[in-house]
Every structure is written in C-alpha cells, then in structure tokens.
Amino acid sequence: MNRLQIFILVFICVPGFLTRSIAQIQKEQTDLIDRYLGVQQQSIGFNGTVMIAGNDSIIYRRSVGKASLELDVQFSLDPVFRIASITKQFTAMLVVLAAEEHKLALGDQLSKYYPQLGQSDWSNITIRQLLTHTSGLPHNEGIADYWEKISFLPLSDRQATDEIFKLKLLSVPGTKTQYSSPGYFILASILEIVYHKNYDAILREKITVPLRMDHTGVGNSTDIINGMVSPYHQLADRLIAAPHRDYALMKGSGNMYSTASDLSKWNNALNGSSHFNKMVTDQLFTIQNSQPINGRSESYGYGWFLRRTSNPERNFNFTGGGTYGCSAFSGYYPNAKISVVILSNVSTLPVGEMQSNIESIVFGDRFDMPVVRTHIVMEASQLDKFQGTYTADNGHLLAIFFKGEQLYAKMGQNPFFELYPSDSSVFFGKKVPVQIEFEKDSDNTIKGLKANLRGQSIRFVKNR
C-alpha cells in the first residue's frame, strides 16, 4: 500500500473529515507540506523531522537538513532527538498509574514524602498541584544563578533536590498558575520513592518496553545514545554548536529522548488503544486547569495542553518542548485520530507555529505559504534609535533592544526573538511571523510602531 492509499484509507474512516475529492486533496496536501518544509528550512533554519500518522499508519514522514553538520551526515529514517518538556507527558502518566496502583494519591502533600519540609507552605503542596502547575513553584529561572552557573553543573540527585527546595514560592499553593519544570522533577522523585527504583527503570517498566518504544529513554549530558543527532543552537542568522546544559535538574521534566515513530506510538497508545486503562488516560485529557500556562491560552490536563473547540475534529492534545539543541512538538487529534510530531536538533525554532501551519494544510484550510524574506544590513548607530519600551492600548508591553549587532523584540514574559530590517523602518521576525513598522515624528524620532501578526494589527506607543 502506498502513502496516498494510506491517506485515503485513514480519512475515509473519519466520517465528515473532508468533503472534497480525497485523493486529489491528499496529493495536494503532501506536496504542500513538502514545499512548506523547504520554505521553513530556508526561512527559519528548520532542521529535523516531521511525522503525521493516523492510527498505526504513517501518513507523512520527511526529514530536512542534516543530523550532523560537522560530518555532513543526512538524517537516518528515524533519528533520535532530545524531546525536552514532552518528558512531562510521561511523568504525568506514571504518576496517574501510581495512583491507580495505590502507590500514592493525587491529594498527597509533600510533607508525606519530605518530612524535612516541616510546617512551611512547601509541605502543603499536593501532587495534583505539581501536575497542574498550581503549586506556586517557579520555573527553572527561580533557582539562583541558574543560567550563569547551576545549569552547567552535574549535580547529584540530592544536590538537585536541595537546589529546588531553596526556591521561593511565588504564591500560596493552589491559588495561582505558574509553569514549573522543578515541580515535575519533584514528581519524578516521588515516583522513585514509592517504587524504590530510579525514574528510568520505572519508565521502561510501565511505558517504553510494553509499547516497544525501543528508541525512547532517559539521557544525561554524558551518555552516548545510539542514533542521536548532533545539537545546534540558532543565534541570530547562524547556527552554532548548542551550549552545554546539564540534565541533572531536568529529571521528569525534560531529560528524555525519542524518535518521531516512538512518539507516534505513544500518541496512539493513549488514544483508543487498549493498552492503558481508559480511566487513567481520561485523567490526562480532562481539563484540570483552565488558566493560561506558560503563555498559552489552552487548558491543561496532566502533562498535556488541551485545546477544545466548537469543531470536535479540531480538539487537540499536545506538548511542546525546547532546550539547547532541541525544539520539539508532539500532539494528537483524538476525534480525527491523527498524530503530529515535529522534532528538530536546533534550539529556539517556532515548532508550535509550524504545527499550526501543518494543521491548516492537513485539514484543508486556506493556507498562505510563508515567503522567504531577505533583509538589509544596518549599522549599529541606525538600529540604536529603535530601542525602548512600547505600550499598546490594551496595556501589553513590547521591549525592543539592541545587543551585539542584532535588534531583538520581547513581548511580556514571552521569549525574545530577532528582528531583521527589510528597509529603514520596517522589520520582520523569522522565528515569530511578525512585521513591525516603526512610526516617526516630524523631527524623525521614533514615536511608536505597528505590529502585524497573523492578520492582526496592534499599535504601540513608545514610552518616553
């Protein structure tokens, strides 16, 4: 059976999925995705693998770029990538399985497992709050000197735990939402306590071995992993070797590796497979926290973001992840029964934006192919005048700053991204599809800007 036949079989089994000529549309879709990935390779430097699967059949798979730039090595059929925060999906499942086995209860407080916490607010944090990012714990940046020092160190498990317990809570547990990878480190540690095994062994026993996910596991900064791609980081307009980051503080939150095929198996196993008890999987995909998390508007289950829409076929369960040398995205449309996995060995790529575009293609929406834009060179003295803080009518703040020879933009708590000039007052982003047009006073000073993003235009006034 060829790929086109698989497309037809999969979508015929989903009533009402597409109403036009399926054979014609599917050929158009595969061609569009091919073209799209080629454009994204040129435009944003995408280097990696995209896989779309329906049930247990591969609908689309393609890799662009190279597994090793130094050795000029192409990607293998199913390369191994770091998957960063997609690890949280697995930790959440292991916790819910442990609750099903009565090893723990989701309402348990940390004081049960860490009596040394005494009567502090920490002791009242529950496992459920850690799962839903409502514990009050900050993200990694809350650890003193994290990026300057701690993130480089090969800490022992005890040292890593001590660093986390030094954190200052941002809110009373259970009252506010704050995305926190350290919270998932604690969850992984609790699993080790109740099972008397390390996290890797629990993962193999409960998930990867039964599902035959032969290329998925836990890695550290020194392991040599068969099939692992070389890691890179995109710095402005060039690639560099990915900076070092030790995995000691990423247990259960970002220390796993996998392949697109294995993650597709995982997605399918959680959605309709008889391998896991439905009462267990339903907990993962039931809305547990409807507050915005990590800048996203979607709700949250346990370890998964949950998008629920008026069109059930567009309901989507997903997690994205990123660290040095890794940009990753994995999700599943439970009603359309489609899995989408995007894995790259280049950090800070907009894989979430790529998923959105691929969704438009797969579901037959109107889709405008991104344009590969070229930029001009401007001197530092020319760029300096654009620096400052800009405020929109809705109160949102946009910071524009100059560093090295590059202009950057940062909206609120979102990551900063590079801006490239297309003329003397118009800039565009590659990692974020935004165009910014600066506005000038009669005396040629910058008074504000207009930002165009995904068809929306927002005007900002420069703060004086």
The enclosing domain of 105 has a CATH number of: 3.40.710.10
Residue 20 lies in a domain: no
Q: Can you tell me the distance from the alpha carbon of 132 to that of 86, in angstroms, rounded to the nearest whole number?
A: 15
Q: Residues 401, 347: one domain?
A: no
Q: Which residues are within 8 A (CB) of 379 and not within 5 positions of it... i.e. 6 or more apart?
A: none
Asked whether residue 328 falls in the same domain as residue 437, the answer is no
User: Do residues 397 and 389 make contact, with C-beta atoms less than 8 angstroms apart?
Assistant: yes
Q: According to the model, what pLDDT value does residue 24 have? A: 34
* CA–CA distance, 145 with 91 (Å, rounded to integer): 26
Task: Enter the DSSP assignment of 328.
Answer: E
pLDDT for position 256: 98
Q: Does residue 142 fall inside a structural domain?
A: yes
- Domain hosting residue 328, numbered range: 81-362
Ranked by mean pLDDT, which of 179-183, 415-419, 423-427 comes out on top? 179-183
Cα–Cα distances in angstroms (integers) from residue 54 to residues 9, 49, 334, 339, in the given order: 9, 17, 10, 6
Domain count within the chain? 2
Tens of pLDDT, residues 375-420: 898 988 889 999 999 999 888 899 999 888 889 999 876 778 899 9
Q: Let me know whether 339 and 427 are in one domain.
A: no
Confidence of residue 273 (pLDDT cuts 50, 70, 90): low
Q: Is the pLDDT score of 1 beyond 60?
A: no
Comparing CA positions, the residue from 352, 268, 349, 274 lying closest to residue 307 is 352
355 and 408 both lie in a single domain: no
Q: For the residues of 72-139, what is the DSSP string, one character each?
A: TEE--SS-BEE-GGGHHHHHHHHHHHHHHTTS--TT-BGGGT-GGGTTSGGGG-BHHHHHTT-SS---
Per-residue pLDDT of 25-65, as tens digits, reads 487 899 999 999 999 999 899 999 999 998 778 999 999 99
Sheet architecture: strand order including 81-82 = 81-82, 256-258, 217-218
Q: Among 362, 388, 422, which residue terminates a domain?
A: 362
Q: What confidence score (pLDDT) does residue 4 get?
A: 36
Q: Is the pLDDT of residue 186 over 70?
A: yes
- Name the residue type at position 263: L
Q: Kindly state whether residues 284 and 406 are assigned to the same domain.
A: no
Report the run of H or E that residue 398 belongs to, with start and end.
strand 397-403
Q: How sure is the predictor about 90, in pLDDT bands with cuts at 50, 70 and 90? A: very high
